[in-house]
Structure 1
Amino acid sequence: MIRDRDAKFTEAFDAVFASIGVEILLTAPQAPRMNAYAERLIGSIRRECCDRILIIGQRHLQRVLTEYFDHYNAGRSHQGHGMALRAPDDDAAVLRFPTQPGQIHRRQRLGGLLNEYHPAA
């Protein structure tokens, strides 16, 4: 669990989580915006994934989150320099020409919940 260094979180609070095997990680001192990054990621997970699928157990949740993180980190398009949409693993030195609609390949993930689009090879 990641938490900030607020004084309202006492040692007793940490002991409850430690008793069930949860490791407590503290945010960096004097980094007030660090929580915003974690909240944005958690919000994305909820809006794009968990609010749209019924999770039926811990193993299912782990599988869904693993698939979502693969999509989040490598499959989805990100706005790059000059508003060009690129995935993180695309070569920045290659300029893509517009692709005809018939030459676009769609890959569905999580049963169609997430879609990734790539030029067909």
Structure 2
Amino acid sequence: MQRARNLAMDLGDRIAELRLVIHDRDLLFTSAFREVFTAEGLRFITTLPRTPRMNAICERVIGTLRRELLDRVVILNERHWPSCSRST
């Protein structure tokens, strides 16, 4: 629970941009852990049982989409790049 509080504090104002917390069925994620994030207005999604590779498959699909899409996008200035506009 303390780690969840620390994470929420480290995120600061950026936590308002988040909507979901996706986690597996590890015993680490107790109800106290959930309460920290539900108090911030986040919704929890738990992965399906017996799908240990689901996260790896999702990460691979997202990585492929990023590589395939970002290799074909021309960025003209900082406004076109989402991570640059957040940091300023």
Give the alignment's TM-score, normalised by structure 2. Answer: 0.48
Q: Which has the higher contact order (CA 8 A, sep 6+)?
A: 2
Larger Rg: 1
Which structure shows the higher helix fraction?
2
Which structure shows the higher strand fraction?
1
Give the alignment's TM-score, normalised by structure 1. Answer: 0.37
